[in-house]
Chain A
Amino acid sequence: MVAVRYETAFKLYPYEKVPAQSGAVQRHPVVIVGGGPVGLALALDLGKKGTPALVLDDHDGAGLGSKAICFAKRTLDIASRLGASASMVDKGVVWNVGKVFHGEGNLFKFDLLPESGHRNPAFINLQQPYFERFLVDEIRNAQKAGAPIEIRGRNSVTAMKQFDEYTALDIQTPDGPYHLEAEYLIACDGARSSIRDMMGLSFDGRVFEDNFLIADVKMKADFPTERWFWFEPPFKDSGQSALLHKQPDDIWRIDFQLGWDIDREKELDADRIRARVDAMLSSQAGSVPEYELHWTSIYTFQCRRMETFRHGTVLFAGDSAHQVSPFGARGANSGVQDAENLAWKLDLVLKGLAEDSLLDTYATEREFGADENILNSSRATDFMTPKSNVSKTFRNAVLDLAGRHAFARPLVNSGRLSVPCTYDGFDLFGPDTLAGPDITRPGATCPDAPVDEGYLLDHLSGAFHILNIGDGTAISVTSEGITADVINIAAPSSELSARYLGDEPCAVYLIRPDQHVVARWASFDEKAIAAALKNSIGKGAE
Chain B
Amino acid sequence: MTLILEPNIPDPDGFYDELLCAHEELTDDESEAFNARLILTLCNHIGDREILRAALEAAK
Q: Decide if A and B are genuine partners.
A: yes
Q: Give the B-binding residues of A (Cβ under 8 A).
A: 393-394, 396-398, 400-401, 405, 407-408, 411
Contacting residue for A393 out of B32, B41, B44, CB 8 A:
B32
- B22 lies within 8 A of chain A by Cβ: no
Q: Is the CB of A394 within 8 A of B36?
A: yes
Q: Is the CB of B33 within 8 A of A408?
A: no
Q: Is the CB of B36 within 8 A of A408?
A: no
- Docked CA distance A405–B37 (Å): 11
Using CB atoms, name the residue of chain B closest to A395.
B36
- B3 lies within 8 A of chain A by Cβ: no
Point out which of B32, B36, B44 has the most chain A C-beta atoms below 10 A from its C-beta: B36
Q: Give the A-binding residues of B (Cβ under 8 A).
A: 32-33, 36-37, 39-41, 44
Q: Is the CB of B40 within 8 A of A398?
A: yes
Q: How far is the CB of A283 from chain B (nearest CB, A)?
A: 25
Q: Is the CB of B36 within 8 A of A397?
A: yes
Q: Chain B residues near A393 (CB, 8 Å)?
A: 32-33, 36
Q: Is chain B's interface secondary structure helix, strand, loop, or mixed overall?
A: helix
- Docked CA distance A448–B41 (Å): 38
Residue pairs across A and B with Cβ atoms less than 8 A apart, 5 shown, are A396-B33, A396-B36, A400-B33, A405-B41, A408-B40
- Docked CA distance A398–B40 (Å): 8
Q: Chain A residues near B37 (CB, 8 Å)?
A: 397, 400-401
Contacting residue for A407 out of B32, B36, B39, B44, CB 8 A:
B44
Q: Chain B residues near A400 (CB, 8 Å)?
A: 33, 37
Q: Is the CB of B40 within 8 A of A411?
A: yes
Point out which of A397, A400, A408, A411 has the most chain B C-beta atoms below 10 A from its C-beta: A397
Q: How far is the CB of B42 from chain A (nearest CB, A)?
A: 11
Q: Chain B residues near A398 (CB, 8 Å)?
A: 40
Closest 5 CB pairs of A and B: A397-B36, A407-B44, A397-B37, A393-B36, A394-B36
Q: Chain A residues near B39 (CB, 8 Å)?
A: 397
Using CB atoms, name the residue of chain B closest to A400.
B37
Q: How far is the CB of A390 from chain B (nearest CB, A)?
A: 8
Q: Chain A residues near B41 (CB, 8 Å)?
A: 401, 405, 407
Q: Chain A residues near B36 (CB, 8 Å)?
A: 393-394, 396-397
Q: How far is the CB of B45 from chain A (nearest CB, A)?
A: 9
Q: Chain A residues near B40 (CB, 8 Å)?
A: 394, 397-398, 401, 408, 411
Q: Chain B residues near A405 (CB, 8 Å)?
A: 41
Q: Is the CB of B33 within 8 A of A397?
A: yes
Q: Chain A residues near B44 (CB, 8 Å)?
A: 407-408
Q: Chain B residues near A401 (CB, 8 Å)?
A: 37, 40-41
Using CB atoms, name the residue of chain B closest to A406.
B44
- Docked CA distance A230–B33 (Å): 20
Q: How far is the CB of A214 from chain B (nearest CB, A)?
A: 31
Using CB atoms, name the residue of chain B closest to A411.
B40
> A393-B32, A397-B36, A401-B41 are known contacts; what are 14 more A-B pairs with Cβ within 8 Å?
A393-B33, A393-B36, A394-B40, A396-B33, A397-B37, A397-B39, A397-B40, A398-B40, A401-B40, A405-B41, A407-B41, A407-B44, A408-B44, A411-B40
Using CB atoms, name the residue of chain B closest to A404.
B37
Q: How far is the CB of A388 from chain B (nearest CB, A)?
A: 12
- Docked CA distance A396–B34 (Å): 10
Q: How far is the CB of B13 from chain A (nearest CB, A)?
A: 28
- Docked CA distance A411–B47 (Å): 13
Point out which of A393, A398, A408 has the most chain B C-beta atoms below 10 A from its C-beta: A393
- Docked CA distance A96–B57 (Å): 40
- Docked CA distance A326–B7 (Å): 48
Q: How far is the CB of A301 from chain B (nearest CB, A)?
A: 26
Q: How far is the CB of A397 from chain B (nearest CB, A)?
A: 4
Q: Chain B residues near A411 (CB, 8 Å)?
A: 40
- Docked CA distance A398–B36 (Å): 8
Q: How far is the CB of B49 from chain A (nearest CB, A)?
A: 14
- Docked CA distance A306–B39 (Å): 38
Q: Chain B residues near A407 (CB, 8 Å)?
A: 41, 44
Q: Chain A residues near B32 (CB, 8 Å)?
A: 393
Q: How far is the CB of A379 from chain B (nearest CB, A)?
A: 16
